[in-house]
Structure 1
Amino acid sequence: MAPKNKFTKEQIIDCAFDIAKVNGINSITIRKVAENLGSSIAPIYVNFNNVEELKREVIRKLIKVSNDILGKQDSGNPFLDLGVASILAAKKYRALFTDFILNPNTYLEEYDRGMEQTILAKIQSDQSLQGFSEEEVMTIFLKMKIFQTGLSIMVGNNLLPKELGEEQIINLLEGTGHDIITAARLRKENNND
């Protein structure tokens, strides 16, 4: 007879997500989740075949949380919104964000695929990118993503100068985005001459 399921699948995912928020994605184990739930491992195995399946569900939850954070950003500047959302996620989910970005894993690719539609929709709405080809827009996005990821890591790990407040960080994001787009536009105009 199968063990009685004391916890919903969502409760188990939430527990694993809480573990990842504090200690990173690779800290999730079936035993640790069971311990945090005050349970044996049986209810977890009723819902998940293995820890990898549970970690993938945690990534899906992270995608949902990231989409929620991004959805609340509406400055009119899509790249700024993406950067601010990344910084907010790095602050709120410091260990998970750092572990996710800095440690080799297969989850980042899955996360990027899960966020792709939302990000592309945001980028395509940016009026400052009119006249650029899709390839040029993606190159601009990659440059901004590299900067924003580095800045988010620095924010998440308290590596920025203490006197640099939230407003200055947002100004830095906005200014860098403007500089990248301006440089791309100048390069495009110079190549067309």
Structure 2
Amino acid sequence: MPKKIIFSKETIIEKAFELFKEEGIDSISARNVAKALNCSPAPIYSSIGSMDILKDELVNKAKKLFMDYITVKKTNIKFLDIGMGFVIFAREERQLFSNIFLIESMERALMTEFLDLIHDEMKKDSRFFHLTDNERNEIFMNCWIFLNGLATLIATGFIKNPSDDYIKEKLLNNPAKLLYEYLEKHPKK
């Protein structure tokens, strides 16, 4: 007769996600999760199956949380909303942001998905149709460098608890300003 599972899959994922947010993906082991749950590793394997499955669940959970931040409409400019969401995520989920975007050992799937989202939005927006690929990439890279820098400064505590208005003002008054000014001058058709 199989041993009764002490913890549900959801409970294990939640506790492992807390550990992942605080210590990164490399901290996820059966032993560490079991310690956080105050149990042996056996219930983790019984409920989840393997550490690879658990890590995939955690990456997907982080991806969903991140995508929730960058898809919130805050302004009338979708690209500004994405940028604000990225920086607000860095402010509110500092450790998770660091574990995803600043630590080399983290799987780069989430960052790639984020960058692809921006590229896809640019491809769909008629205001960019007349630009060459090089021009679009130049605008994108200028925005990305500033956006990532601002988010990193916030996540690492160099800029302390900025308001949404502060974030918006910084995003509107920087090298990426060229993008926002361009979008305002060329209304979407």
TM range (shorter): 0.7 to 0.9
TM-score, length-scaled by structure 1: 0.76
Query: Would the alpha carbon gap of residues 44 and 116 (structure 1) be closer, same or farther in structure 2, given more than 3 Å must change?
Result: farther
2:136 corresponds to 1:137: yes
2:36 corresponds to 1:26: no
**Could you tell me which amino acid in structure 2 is paired with residue 19 of structure 1?**
L
TM-score, length-scaled by structure 2: 0.77
CA distance in 1, matches of 2:161, 2:90: 19
Once the two structures are TM-superposed, the CA of residue 117 in structure 1 deviates from its matched residue by 6.0
Q: Give 5+ residue unaligned stretches, structure 1.
A: 184-193
Query: Would the alpha carbon gap of residues 165 and 131 (structure 1) be closer, same or farther in structure 2, given more than 3 Å must change?
Result: same
Superposition pairs for residues 117-136 of structure 1, below 5 Å?
Answer: 118-124=117-123, 126=125, 128-134=127-133, 136=135
Once the two structures are TM-superposed, the CA of residue 30 in structure 1 deviates from its matched residue by 1.6
2:98–2:155 CA contact under 8 A, matched in 1: yes
Residue aligned with 2:173, SS: helix
Query: Would the alpha carbon gap of residues 58 and 139 (structure 1) be closer, same or farther in structure 2, given more than 3 Å must change?
Result: farther
Once the two structures are TM-superposed, the CA of residue 106 in structure 1 deviates from its matched residue by 4.7
- Deviation string 1:29-49 (CA, Å, 9 cap, x unpaired) is 222212222332112112445
Once the two structures are TM-superposed, the CA of residue 144 in structure 1 deviates from its matched residue by 1.4
Match of 1:111 in 2: 110
2:6–2:43 CA contact under 8 A, matched in 1: yes
**Could you tell me which amino acid in structure 2 is paired with residue 131 of structure 1?**
H
1:78–1:126 CA contact under 8 A, matched in 2: no
Residue aligned with 1:107, SS: coil
Moved more, 40-49 or 132-141: 132-141
Query: Would the alpha carbon gap of residues 181 and 11 (structure 1) be closer, same or farther in structure 2, given more than 3 Å must change?
Result: same
Query: Would the alpha carbon gap of residues 158 and 127 (structure 1) be closer, same or farther in structure 2, given more than 3 Å must change?
Result: farther
Query: Which of 149, 171, 174 does residue 173 from structure 1 map onto?
Result: 171
Once the two structures are TM-superposed, the CA of residue 69 in structure 1 deviates from its matched residue by 1.2
1:73–1:84 CA contact under 8 A, matched in 2: no
CA distance in 2, matches of 1:158, 1:126: 35
How many residue pairs match? The answer is 181
**Could you tell me which amino acid in structure 1 is paired with residue 35 of structure 2?**
E
Looking at secondary structure, tell me which structure has more helix per residue.
Answer: 1
Residue aligned with 2:157, SS: coil
1:94–1:156 CA contact under 8 A, matched in 2: yes
Superposition pairs for residues 76-91 of structure 1, below 5 Å?
Answer: 76-91=76-91
CA distance in 1, matches of 2:73, 2:3: 44
Name the Cα RMSD after superposition: 2.9
Match of 1:71 in 2: 71
